[in-house]
Structure formats: structure tokens, C-alpha cells
């Protein structure tokens, strides 16, 4: 199966707010948008295969399957592996991101921190140390 691209699609109450947040703090750019829909392209310097992120307004009539049209926030982590988690932490904190978990290191070598977007999506940055 030759997959040519990958995207993550998330239902949120305010797609514009999430798109602006991911653009400002991670470097994604708007590839296309329409009423209730914003598709973001991965940053130019991202590794091949980094998924695009799509934000859909919760409750769109065109969403299928309809029984799964709720908000994406519950239990979801949008995680990015990076080389300098502490440097990125300082940059996004200083840029005004809402930090929900300060940098910490798990016993198995995962150092991470988390920020929260305006729609409650948790964005996690991870470095393996």
C-alpha cells in the first residue's frame, strides 16, 4: 500500500484558534481552509512523513461517521519528538503558550513537557535522553 501523505484530523470548537496556536508554537502553515475546516502543512524543516494536521469545527454536518463527531480533546496528546526539549520549552513558554506540564524526565528516558491549545488539545514535546 503506497501511502503518499499522512494527516491527523481533530474536531474542535474553534478551528482557527487551534490552527493559529499550532502555527505560532510549532511552525505549521495553512495549506487550505474553508468554512469550519483548516488544513495545516507540517513545517518545511520537519522530517519526511511528519503528518499534516487538520482542524474541523465540532458538529460539521459533513463529518462521518456521525456518531464520532464529538470533540477530539478527551485523552488526546499531539506529540512531537524534538532534539532540545528544554530549549523548546523556554521558547514556547516565553511566546505565551499555556504550559500544563513543566519539563520532567520519566525513568525510561523520556523527557517531555506539555502545552494546551485554546480548544484543550494537549501538545507534547518529547526528547529521548
pTM above 0.85, yes or no: yes
Run of H or E including 17: helix 15-26
User: pLDDT of 21-77, one tens digit each?
Assistant: 999 999 999 999 998 999 999 998 888 889 999 999 998 888 888 888 888 878 889
Question: What residues does 111 pair with on adjacent strands?
Answer: 105, 127
Confidence tier at 114 by pLDDT (50, 70, 90): very high
Q: Are 60 and 51 in contact (CB under 8 A)?
A: no
Amino acid at each position: 500500500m503506497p501511502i503518499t501523505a499522512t494527516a491527523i484530523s481533530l474536531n474542535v470548537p474553534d478551528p482557527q484558534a487551534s490552527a493559529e496556536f499550532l502555527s505560532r508554537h510549532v511552525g505549521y502553515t495553512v495549506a487550505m481552509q474553508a468554512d469550519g475546516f483548516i488544513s495545516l502543512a507540517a513545517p518545511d524543516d520537519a522530517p519526511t512523513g511528519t503528518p499534516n494536521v487538520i482542524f474541523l469545527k465540532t458538529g460539521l454536518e459533513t463529518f462521518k461517521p456521525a456518531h464520532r463527531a464529538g470533540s477530539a480533546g478527551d485523552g488526546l496528546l499531539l506529540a512531537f519528538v524534538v532534539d532540545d526539549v528544554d530549549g523548546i520549552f523556554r521558547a514556547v513558554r516565553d511566546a505565551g503558550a499555556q504550559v500544563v506540564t513543566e519539563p520532567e524526565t520519566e525513568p525510561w528516558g523520556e523527557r517531555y513537557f506539555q502545552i494546551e491549545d485554546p480548544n484543550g488539545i494537549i501538545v507534547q514535546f518529547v526528547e529521548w535522553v
